[in-house]
Amino acid sequence: MEEKPLHSNDASPGSDEMSGRIYGQGLADSSLGPPSTWPQCLKSTVDLMLPSKAQIVLFWGEDFIALYNDAYAPTIGTKHPRALGRPAREYWGELWSDLEPLLRRVLDFGETVFAKDRPFYIERHGYPETVHFDISYSPVRDETGKVRGVFCIVNETTERVRSDTALRESEERFRAIFTQTAAGIGQSDLAGRLHLVNRRFCEIVGYSETELLKMRVQDITFPTDLEDYLRSFRQMIETGESFDIEKRYVRKDGSLVWVANSVSPLRDEHGEIKQAAAVVVDITERKRAQEVERRLAAIIASSNDAILSIDLNMRITSWNSGAEKLYGYSAQEAIGRSVMILVPDDRIEEEPAIIRQVSAGLRVDPYETKRRRSDDGLVDVLLSVSPIFDAYGRTIGAAKIAHDISARKEAERLQTVLVGELNHRVKNVLATVMAIARQTLGRETANRAGVDAFEARISLMSRAHDLLMHGNWEQAELEAVVKQALSPYSREKISISGPSVRLVPRAVVSISLALHELATNAAKYGALSMPEGQISIHWSVTNDEPHRLTLRWQEMGGPRVSEPTRRGFGSRLIESLLAAELKGEVNITYDPAGLICEVNAVVDDDGIPSA
């Protein structure tokens, strides 16, 4: 029988494409020549490679002629089939600087090269890309032991590497979100035992991670909120639907923290719910703000003052029960209408002026005005207006509080009438006293001086009452009292100085009479009797408690002064009346250079220094 060639077409290993190309005419132009001329080591290696399901390429000789099997062909894309039988440099040129050193290690030194997920830059589909292979490069030796080629078993892992990279990046992103997010994240089993918590969750509840992983969600939930939470949790297990709930956690220090919980089921590979994940946000401040808003709303709703708000177009946007009582409109009648329904015709410019001021972000100081009721009657109000800002700090309207001062206004009017009537009657009494004095004492010339002095004192008391009437019979300024008492005399000869001090009625009359006596004496015998004479009136108040008033009268440039042999009415009035009324001390010094009178008294809460 005739022996057939070892590698004739009908005896080639396998019947796939690459066997046909290699043992057919596919290598006609290759420097390897026809398979019948190949060395036995090459034939054996090719016969081993072709039927293999592994991705194998053989680089033969110094030019690294490429032979490969069907499993390998797709890995080089459009380079196949042109790369078959050609030097590797021609079709692996873009990665030759990377590939050649690996092949040389095997061909020149007989090494075996192995690597997992080895990256290669390649242009196999007309565009550049980086691919990954598991590689195992082994030497192919001839019968003398010389390395003739490189047998490369490869496995492309590009998709797996990309998937692993994407998974790793996703895990890193999740880890970054998990550890750095402002929300707490916790994971538990269906019994509530915590398996995973992030840093923010630990901060919210005040426990460490180690402590929490030994606890259940139930252990940190406020008892009052537990029933609602467990009911929602059971429903999630039954339906597979996530749920949101607001509840309170009990922190490690015993304090409560409000949280918004978004709880979702976690399923295993069979689709069964095995765990739950919760995203936890601390809403304690929001809850506190809501509580403050609720209290403010309750205060506004129950306030007796009329509280309303308007937009920048002066339309009413809110209206409390106090406004209903004061103005007579119900909330349904008022809201949406212009606030000008409350403004009298003679005050029509007030509201536009208010809007201009609040639009600039300014508060309107409280002021008294009038507003119109639904029955067209007018009501006296004390009005306060403040701007309303939105979340961005922009002015969007104004809040207005109107306090009914009708009763106070009526009381003030009545008080004015009564004070005027009282003053009129007091003056009538004083005028009657003066008339009786003239009739009783004025007929004899010897009594004329006494009658004049008596009339002057009565007249001074009348003027002091005028001062009190201007102060509603409550208080009068010391400076005004001094100036009025000395009004009959030249201001050029009198120096007046001191802080603002309010005096009670009893002090006003007493000091007025005392100053009158001192001035009368100075005009007759003291500084005011000489052209160059001067009088200094100065007072001060101490800051310590109780406040003490010191008032000093000092004459200068008058006749030489000597102590009188007897005390006159004026001296006795000054020393006794002031000391008694002011509950203080009065010292009169007869200094040769001029008389000095000093008053020291406690100024109580009814008569203190003005602010």
Say which residue the tokens 């009190």 belong to. Answer: 468
Return the pLDDT at 11: 40
pLDDT exceeds cutoff 60 at 108: yes
Q: What is the CATH number of domain 181-287?
A: 3.30.450.20
**Above pLDDT 90, what percent of the chain?**
47
Return the pLDDT at 447: 55
Question: Range with the lowest mean pLDDT among 72-76, 157-161, 510-514, 560-564?
Answer: 510-514
Question: What are 441-471's pLDDT values in tens digits?
Answer: 555 555 555 566 666 666 655 655 555 555 4
pLDDT exceeds cutoff 90 at 570: no
Q: What is the CATH number of domain 9-162?
A: 3.30.450.20
Instruction: Supply the mean pLDDT for the chain.
Output: 84
Using an 8 Å Cβ cutoff, are 199 and 183 in contact? Answer: no
Asked if the bond preceding 546 is cis, omega within 30° of 0, the reply is yes
pLDDT exceeds cutoff 50 at 525: yes
Quick one: 476-611 is in which CATH superfamily?
Answer: Histidine kinase-like ATPase, C-terminal domain (3.30.565.10)
Read off φ and ψ for residue 145, nearest 5 degrees: 90, 0
pLDDT exceeds cutoff 80 at 590: yes
Return the pLDDT at 549: 86
Residue 184: exposure state from Cβ atoms within 10 A (0-12, 13-18, ≥19):
buried
Tell me what the mean pLDDT of segment 223-227 comes to.
94
Using an 8 Å Cβ cutoff, are 14 and 51 in contact? Answer: yes
Return the pLDDT at 611: 38
Using an 8 Å Cβ cutoff, are 344 and 371 in contact? Answer: yes
Return the pLDDT at 360: 86
**What residue ranges do the domains of the chain occupy?**
9-162, 181-287, 304-403, 405-474, 476-611
Please state, in angstroms and rounded to a whole number, the distance separating the CA atoms of residues 191 and 193: 6
Return the pLDDT at 461: 58
Question: Range with the lowest mean pLDDT among 152-161, 404-413, 530-539?
Answer: 404-413
Please state, in angstroms and rounded to a whole number, the distance separating the CA atoms of residues 136 and 565: 140
Q: What tokens were used for 131?
A: 């691919």
* Same fold yes or no, 181-287 and 304-403: yes
Using an 8 Å Cβ cutoff, are 274 and 193 in contact? Answer: no
Return the pLDDT at 428: 58
Return the pLDDT at 511: 80
Residue type at position 6: L
Q: What is the CATH number of domain 304-403?
A: 3.30.450.20
Return the higher-pLDDT residue of 446 and 300.
Answer: 300
pLDDT exceeds cutoff 60 at 399: yes
pLDDT exceeds cutoff 90 at 130: yes
Tell me what the mean pLDDT of segment 220-228 comes to.
95
User: What single string gives the DSSP state of each residue in 19-40?
Assistant: HHHHHTTTTTTSTT--GGGS-H
Return the higher-pLDDT residue of 136 and 4.
Answer: 136
Please state, in angstroms and rounded to a whole number, the distance separating the CA atoms of residues 557 and 381: 58
Question: What are 226-251's pLDDT values in tens digits?
Answer: 999 999 999 999 999 999 999 999 99
Read off φ and ψ for residue 585, nearest 5 degrees: -120, 145
Question: Range with the lowest mean pLDDT among 73-77, 419-423, 501-505?
Answer: 419-423
Return the pLDDT at 358: 86
Please state, in angstroms and rounded to a whole number, the distance separating the CA atoms of residues 409 and 421: 18
Please state, in angstroms and rounded to a whole number, the distance separating the CA atoms of residues 360 and 363: 9
Using an 8 Å Cβ cutoff, are 542 and 499 in contact? Answer: no
Please state, in angstroms and rounded to a whole number, the distance separating the CA atoms of residues 314 and 327: 17
Tell me what the mean pLDDT of segment 536-544 comes to.
88
pLDDT range class, residue 117, cuts 50, 70, 90: very high
**Above pLDDT 70, what percent of the chain?**
85
How far is CA 93 from each of CA 97, 400, 589, rounded to the nearest angstrom? 8, 84, 125
Question: What are 169-178's pLDDT values in tens digits?
Answer: 887 777 777 7
pTM: 0.45
